[in-house]
Amino acid sequence: MSVFDDMAVFIRVVEKGSFSAAGRDLRMSAALVSSRIARLERHLAVRLFNRTTRKVALTDAGQRYYEDCLDIRRRVAEAEARLAEDDGTPKGVLRLTAGTAVGQHLLTPLMPAFAAAHPAISLQYQVTDRLVDLMGEGMDLAVRVGPLADTTSLKARILAPCPRYIFASPDYLARHGTPRVPHDLVHHNCLLLRFPGSRQFRWRFSGPEGEYELALSGSMDSNSGEVLKDWALAGAGLVLKSWFEVADDVAAGRLKIVLGSHMPADCHLAALYPYDRYIPPRVRAFIDHLAAAVKADPRFAEKPPASAFA
């Protein structure tokens, strides 16, 4: 076994959080995983983990080594991809992630056509409203909606403006009234997206003095944006969603926009990928396919009609 094999075991322990979980994933015993990590620590002459009876935690040196290992793994994958795609044909495994709404309403329907056009590409598609760490989890691409965060590790291709609004059913508004200013929301049931690390219980607004956030509450929350939309359609409360996700529901009269003039205008649909001078052809091919689909999709070209607002 080489040091590179032990590095792979080390990465898996970090990702899985324990020797036993990594062992199950690698089809090794926990004792063998432990011995491989011990051998790696002897080779490096440094302790990588602080161990307890229940879990392992990276030391400062272990954290630095983990980041370097991820960089090495990425560079190896890129080297292999360059060789595999020397003939200009996009090929290999494309690992991508998106939120549930973007997946259901945009990505999932267009993937069969992409797969048919690129039979040499294998798709590994993760749909989750959790904010995935692309570098840490080995992802090639993420498709996200929102304001673009400053980052030195990711590049972004903006595909379209993607305004976000607060929506409620006519039935809910008839029973509870229509909020006229953001602070009215403290008297309403806000349907919130919650998961570890989520900030979706803080909604952003735009006012004369600039942008600000309000921490809101409600009696129902979920880790799925699609569940929240279903609850809003049922009249349970107000939900923050992108226009393209609910345009059909608004057109059918099932939802109305509230506080439309108070929403920031900096939200976009974007494809994000790890920052590097080399973009694998398989990643470029998918982004181009997605960009063409978005350009032809009227939900990204239109503004909400006046009738959409409460």
Kindly report, residue by residue over 239-260, the tens digit of the pLDDT.
Answer: 999 999 999 999 999 999 999 9
Query: Cα-Cα-Cα-Cα dihedral of 265, 267, 270, 275, to 10°?
Result: 100
Q: What is the pLDDT of residues 98-153, one digit of tens each?
A: 988 899 889 999 999 999 999 999 999 998 888 787 877 778 899 998 877 655 56
Burial class of residue 270 (count of CB atoms within 10 Å of its CB; 0-12, 13-18, 19+): buried
pLDDT over 80 (residue 74)? no
**Rounded average pLDDT over 65-93:** 78
CATH class of 85-160+267-300: alpha beta
3-state secondary structure of 113: helix
Using a cut of 0.75, tell me whether the model's pTM lies above it: no
CATH of the domain spanning 3-82, picked from 3.30.43.10, 1.10.10.10, 3.30.70.890, 3.40.630.10: 1.10.10.10
Bridge pairing between strands 192-193 and 221-222: parallel
Q: How many CB atoms lie within 10 A of CB 177?
A: 11
Please report which helix (H) or strand (E) contains residue 176, including its range: helix 170-176
Q: CA 121, CA 215: separation in Å to the nearest integer?
A: 43
**Do 3-82 and 85-160+267-300 fold alike per CATH?**
no
Q: Where are the domains of the chain?
A: 3-82, 85-160+267-300, 164-265
